[in-house]
């Protein structure tokens, strides 16, 4: 019997986009499980709403992202990897986080493994080094480079996020896939993907783009005292708030 799963990544505190995607997924009764590949928070301002939405469900598994990790470091009194304005931004996000949501956030691992119809899946926010730290973004990835990095894993499929664009590489060793950032786009669409594994292990990827109304989200963001707000609005949302002024 074929197995279908949904892959989400980089929600980045955008509950408006997340809600639109989950509504579409919930209408597909064949979906067995949802995998969220990190960066639940950071950048967007709807931190508590996103975490409450996700943690209230029993059909979602998570891996930790670098923004999630930075928020947890700040809450633990540690120095995060982020610097300058980005650190100030993370501190602002952390200051608004509901304390009841920190415990489940702490429990999220950096990698997960699963198996569907004999195909082994590895879920991670991004590639990890030997110290279990996120590596610098490779803006020119190739199947060959990914094969070299994951040479010690027996996974047939590696699903990841972090780099906000779509990646789809298929080598002789395995399939690598990133559905693109759900919560940070230059237009009001929310990308995610459906993966179907057939009875014989054949894998089909269906990239989705869910349109949603982001007017309230963008206007609220533009009016909040968020550190690095102008930079974020321009570089992560394409200044969409200006369309609603």
| Longest CA–CA separation in the chain, Å | 53
Whether 200 and 116 have beta carbons less than 8 Å apart is answered as no
CATH level 2 (architecture), domain 3-214 = 4-Layer Sandwich (3.60)
pLDDT tens digits in sequence order for the chain, 245 residues long: 999 999 999 999 999 999 999 999 999 999 999 999 999 999 999 999 999 999 999 999 999 999 999 999 999 998 777 778 888 999 999 999 999 999 999 999 999 999 999 999 999 999 999 999 999 999 999 999 999 999 999 999 999 999 999 999 999 999 999 999 999 999 999 999 999 999 999 999 999 999 999 999 999 999 999 999 999 999 999 999 999 98
pLDDT of residue 36: 99
Structural domain boundaries in the chain = 3-214
CA distance 13 to 165: 18
Axis-axis angle for helices 15-26, 47-55 (nearest 10): 20
Q: Residue 240 to residues 5, 39, 115, 141, 232: CA-CA distances in angstroms? A: 31, 21, 40, 29, 11
């Amino acid at each position: 019997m074929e197995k279908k799963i949904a892959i989400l990544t980089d929600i980045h505190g955008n509950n408006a986009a997340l809600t639109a995607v989950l509504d579409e997924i919930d209408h597909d009764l064949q979906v067995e499980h949802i995998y969220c590949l990190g960066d639940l928070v950071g950048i967007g301002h709807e931190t508590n709403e996103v975490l409450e939405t996700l943690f209230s469900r029993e059909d979602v598994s998570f891996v930790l992202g670098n923004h999630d990790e930075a928020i947890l470091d700040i809450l633990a009194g540690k120095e995060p990897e982020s610097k300058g304005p980005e650190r100030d931004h993370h501190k602002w996000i952390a200051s608004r986080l509901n304390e009841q949501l920190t415990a489940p956030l702490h429990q999220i691992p950096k990698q997960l493994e699963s198996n569907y119809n004999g195909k082994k899946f590895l879920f991670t926010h991004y590639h990890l080094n030997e110290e279990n730290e996120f590596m610098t973004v490779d803006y020119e990835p190739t199947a060959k480079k990914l094969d070299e990095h994951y040479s010690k894993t027996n996974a047939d499929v590696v699903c990841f996020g972090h780099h906000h664009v779509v990646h789809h590489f298929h080598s002789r060793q395995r399939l690598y896939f990133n559905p693109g950032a759900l919560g940070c786009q230059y237009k009001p669409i929310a990308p995610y993907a459906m993966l179907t594994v057939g009875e014989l292990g054949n894998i089909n990827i269906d990239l989705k783009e869910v349109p949603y109304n982001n007017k309230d989200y963008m206007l609220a963001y533009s009016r909040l005292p968020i550190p690095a707000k102008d930079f974020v609005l321009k570089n992560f949302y394409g200044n969409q708030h200006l369309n609603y002024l």
